[in-house]
Amino acid sequence: MLKEGRTALSFQETISPTSPLIQAHVYAIRKIEGATNQPSHRERMSIDKWKPYLHEVLNRFPANFSSEFRNPCWYEGTELQCVPYFYQLGSFKCGTTDVWDNWYYDLQGPIITNRFNRHVRKTRRKTGQGNDHSIQWYLNLFRIQAVEQVKKNPRLVFGDASISNLWGLGIYDWEELFTNETDPPVFLADVIHAIQPKAKIIAILRDPVEKLWTTYMLEQWKKMVSPQTFHAHFKRLTKESLQCESINSPLYCAFMYGTTADISLNNMLYQGVFYLYLQQWVDVFGLENIHVMRLEDWIKDPITELEEAFKYLELDPLPHDVLSSIVNRSTKNVNERAKRKNFTMLASTRRELQDFYRPWNQRLADLLKNQKFTWDY
C-alpha cells in the first residue's frame, strides 16, 4: 500500500528527451547533493518500535547460544537447533556461486556447504513450500542439512549464502505499519543483529558496470541482444530511476524497485548501487565486523582471498596445498552463453554507466575506508 501522495509508477511514461549522459550526470549529482545535506548515517528506528511486529520471530531464539559448539546452536529439550554462523551477501553475477563453492573442501573441513544453503529462497520453491516464510521452516532446513554434522563435530560451522540477504527487509509491509515513514525503517541486518549480534558477515562485490552488462546478457540470452540493445536497456533503466527519485529517495527506490520480484518493476541499475544496501549492514554490525571482498581480487589471487576470509571467520587455517586444490577447481556459474556471443559493450555505454555509478562507488569506498571500491573510474 502506498502512502497518501505517493503514486504507483508507470515506467512506460516518457521523460523529457535529454541525452543519457546528461541524465546520468544530473541523476548522480542530485543524489550526492541530497545525501550531503543529510546525516552520514540515517538514524535507525529503535528496536522497541519494531520488535512487537516480529515478536514471534525474535522470541524463537535464546539470549545465549550453547558454548558446546562453534556454530550458534541451542537445545530445545533434546533437539538441537542451529542458525548460520555467517551470512554471505552479494548480488547477481558478483561471483557468489564460485566463492561459495570454494568454502567447502572435504567432509572434515570447517564449513558445511550444500546447494540448499546457497539459495534458501529457491529451495523453498523446490520443496513445495512456496508460501511458508516461517522461522520454523528456516530452522528445519538447516536441521536437515547441517545440524547432524554439527552434532558429530562441534567445530563445524555453516552459512546462509542467499544473495537476497544483501537487500533484505526486516518488515516487508512497513508502509502499512509505519505510515509516517518515507523509507524502509527495518532491514534484514537489524533482525539478524537482534538475534545474532556476533554473526559473521561476508560481502562479495563487483564493478557494477560489468555486473549490469553480464546480468543483462544472462537474462536476455534467448533474445536478439547486442551492444545496441544493451545501451537502449540502460537508457530505459535510467529514465525509470529518474522517475522514481522524482517522488522518492534513492534508498526507497533501491529497496522497493531495485530488488522486487516483479520483473515489470525491477530496476537492475540499482543493484549495483552497493552503498545503499551495504550501509545498512555496516551501520548495525560495524565496519570492523564485516569482511568485504571484490570479485576482481578473487579472480586475481583466490588463495589470498580465501586465507583472509578464513581468518575473518576465525576458522583454522588451511594448508597451502589444500588451498591450491580448492581454487584450481573450475569456476562456477560462468555465463558461457554470453561469452559465446563475443559481444563488447559500446564505449559510449561504458562511459555513461561509469558516470552513473562513480559517485556511488566513491561513497562506498568512503564507507569501507578502501579506495579499491571506486574501481578506478
Q: Which CATH number belongs to the domain containing residue 370 in this structure? A: 3.40.50.300
278/94 Cα distance (integer angstroms): 14
Per residue of the chain (377 residues), give pLDDT as tens: 344 434 333 323 333 334 444 454 455 445 545 544 443 456 899 999 999 999 988 999 999 999 999 999 999 999 999 999 999 897 777 666 666 665 554 434 566 655 444 444 443 433 334 444 578 888 888 887 789 889 999 998 988 888 788 999 999 999 999 999 999 999 999 999 999 999 999 999 999 999 998 888 776 655 678 899 999 989 999 998 988 999 999 999 999 887 765 555 578 899 999 999 999 999 999 999 999 999 999 889 888 988 898 899 998 887 777 777 777 765 544 555 555 566 789 999 999 999 999 999 999 999 999 999 999 99
* pLDDT for position 14: 31
Residues 6+ away with beta carbon under 8 Å from 111: 103, 104, 156, 157, 158, 159, 313, 315
On whether residue 85 sits in a domain, the answer given is yes
In a domain, 110, yes or no: yes
What's the rounded Cα separation, in Å, for the pair 148 and 107? 13
In a domain, 12, yes or no: no
Answer yes or no: is 243 within a domain.
yes
Nearest to 257 by CA among 230, 283, 239: 239
For residue 338, being part of any structural domain is answered with: yes
In a domain, 190, yes or no: yes
Residue 169 bridge partners (DSSP): 187
What is the Cβ-side half-sphere exposure of residue 5, based on CA atoms within 13 angstroms?
Answer: 7
pTM of the model: 0.82
User: What residue numbers bound the domain in which 313 lies?
Assistant: 20-374
Best CA proximity match to 270, nearest among 248, 290, 287: 248
Angle at 25 between CA 23 and CA 31, to 5 degrees: 100
pLDDT value at residue 347: 95
- Residue 306 placed within a domain: yes
CA 124 to chain CA centroid, nearest Å? 19
Whether residue 13 is contained in a domain is answered as: no
Residue type, 351: R
Instruction: Please answer whether residues 118 and 58 qualify as being in contact, where contact means their C-beta atoms are separated by less than 8 angstroms.
Output: no
Distance CA 47, CA 248 (A): 25
Determine the pLDDT at residue 265. 56
d(CA 248, CA 255): 11
Number of domains the chain contains: 1
How many other C-beta atoms lie within 10 A of the C-beta of residue 107? 9
